[in-house]
A and B are shown apart, each in its own frame.
Chain A
């Protein structure tokens, strides 16, 4: 597998799991943009670039999974806070229910000798 393909696979993988991770953080409490980015970045290798979180947040807002609002709170600059919606909680619950089985299946396939042979043949 070439480095480029490898990078693309990892990028797609991160893109797929980032949304549920955002929802999990927002389930805990509302967060503003930079706070959310920093919390995600603190999880090793989850984010390749901070900026990509914002298009994701907008897509999730359009899908009704999160809401956002600006709050002033007497600071020099206002902050845009994001919160999970009821639909977002249902989406997260469904992902949480599926993830252990899915990740276990993938781990099992990756460990299998048959998969290693196929991989080496490429």
Chain B
């Protein structure tokens, strides 16, 4: 029998390799497949599984490269149509009066861009709405809500090498459509989750669910993708998930969390960083035994 640590190492190595191989896919598809394979391994390999069992389960899953190729085969079907469309409409280079026409069009474009830039600067950012929840049911079941000195937070235990995350409602209060492109990375906050340590692979998706009717939303039935546009006055939900690794902390205890998420958002033809304040904040308690 192997130790839990040995088993985790093999599984983690498999998942790491799978994540590398899945980089050829759009992030939402890659994230979803990672979640499914992680859940499959969690279910198929209870703690204390024999080394032979681990090896057999991983062998039956197929190599990460094969799995990615299978997923890519599916993805390619969706890509074919746009490729054909692009190949049929190449940018034509023309001389003579057409060249002058292009210059005139460029000048007109410059005027439009200047106008759009003004609109872009004046456009209010997305704002957080009132509905939110931890994304995974096991976190929902363990969440503890607290409020200290006016700062509210919801806290769950960190789950080692597992995906965790939350869903929050957002509103587009502006008169321009806004498209969430992804997390905004900066030197101060490389993941886009300000103040949150011990997490990697942070991903954001926006629900395809449109205007919120006020009934209790069923987050799990929603489909989240990146590149979703939120129309003026519309509510959507954003899902932020990450891979938790509390054991990278030397002391392996304490809390980490965030009360601000930084998003890369496209407004008109420009993209910008939008800083969304979260209330409550989202916290992980790191009281895990990392020695095992």
Q: Measuring CB to CB, which residues of chain A are less than 8 angstroms from any residue of chain B?
A: 32-34, 37, 41, 48-52, 54-59, 67, 69-72, 76-80
Q: How far is the CA of A19 from the CA of B33 in the complex (A)?
A: 17
A105 vs B47: C-alpha distance in the bound complex, in angstroms? 49
B94 to chain A minimum Cβ distance, whole angstroms, is: 40
Query: What is the CB-to-nearest-CB distance from B131 to chain A, in angstroms, rounded to a whole number?
Result: 18
Closest to A32 in B: B43
Q: How many angstroms between the C-alpha atoms of A72 and B142 in the bound complex?
A: 12
User: Which of A37, A51, A52, A54 lies at the interface centre, i.e. has the most chain B CB atoms within 10 A of its CB?
Assistant: A51
A49 contact set on B, CB distance < 8 A? 60-63, 66-67
Asked whether B29 lies within 8 Å of A58 as measured between CB atoms, the reply is yes
CB distance A70 to B74 under 8 Å? Answer: no
- Contact at B36–A33, with CB atoms within 8 Å? yes
- Closest A residue by C-beta to B64: A51
Instruction: With A34-B40, A48-B62 as known contacts, state yes or no: A72 contacts B141, CB within 8 Å.
Output: yes
Which B residues are CB-close (under 8 A) to A57?
36
B137 touches A54 (CB 8 A): no
Partner of B220, one of A34, A56, A69: A69
B42 at the interface (CB under 8 A from A): yes
Known A-B contacts A50-B62, A54-B33, A69-B221; A76 and B138 likewise in contact (beta carbons under 8 Å) = yes
- Given A49-B61, A51-B62, A54-B37, decide whether A34 and B43 contact each other with a Cβ distance below 8 A: yes
In the complex, the answer to whether B70 meets A77 with C-beta atoms within 8 Å is no
Known: A51-B66, A55-B33. A77 touches B61 (CB 8 A): no
Contact of B40 (CB < 8 Å), options: A33, A48, A67, A71: A33
Q: Which 7 residue pairs of A and B lie closest in terms of their CB atoms, listed nearest first?
A: A49-B62, A72-B137, A55-B71, A51-B61, A78-B137, A51-B67, A54-B36
Given the contacts A33-B39, A50-B62, A54-B37, A77 and B74 also touching, CB distance less than 8 Å = no
Question: Would you give the shortest CB distance from A62 to chain B, in whole angstroms?
Answer: 8
A79 to B44, CA, bound (A): 12
Contact with A along B134-161 (1 / 0, CB 8 A): 0011101100000000000000000000
Residues of A within 8 A of B32 (CB): 58
List, in ascending order, chain B residues with CB within 8 A of A70's CB: 136-137, 220
Bound-state Cα–Cα, A41 to B44, Å: 14
Which of A58, A67, A71 is in CB contact (< 8 Å) with B33? A58
Residues of B in contact with A (beta carbons under 8 Å apart): 29, 32-33, 35-37, 39-40, 42-44, 60-63, 66-67, 70-71, 73-74, 77, 136-138, 140-141, 220-221
Q: Which residues of A contact B220 (CB under 8 A)?
A: 69-70
Determine whether the beta carbon of B74 is less than 8 Å from that of A58.
yes
Please report the C-alpha to C-alpha distance between residue A67 and residue B44 in the assembled complex, in whole angstroms: 22
Most buried by A among B37, B66, B138: B138
19 A-B contact pairs sorted by A residue (CB < 8 Å):
A32-B43, A33-B40, A37-B40, A41-B60, A49-B60, A49-B62, A50-B60, A51-B66, A51-B67, A52-B67, A54-B33, A54-B37, A55-B71, A55-B74, A58-B33, A59-B74, A77-B42, A78-B137, A80-B35
The one of A48, A55, A79 that contacts B39, using a Cβ cutoff of 8 Å: A79
- Cβ–Cβ < 8 Å partners of A77 in chain B: 39, 42-43, 138
| Residue of chain B at shortest CB distance from A54 | B36
Contacts of A41 in B (CB 8 A): 60
User: What distance in Å separates the Cβ of B7 from its nearest Cβ neighbour in chain A?
Assistant: 16
How distant is the Cα of A76 from the Cα of B157 in the complex, in angstroms?
13
Cα of A78 to Cα of B62 in the assembled complex, Å: 24
Closest to A59 in B: B74
Complex-state Cα separation, A50 to B57, whole angstroms: 9
Closest residue of B by beta carbon distance from A57? B36
Residues of B with C-beta under 8 A to A59: 74, 77
Residue on B with the closest CB to A67? B221
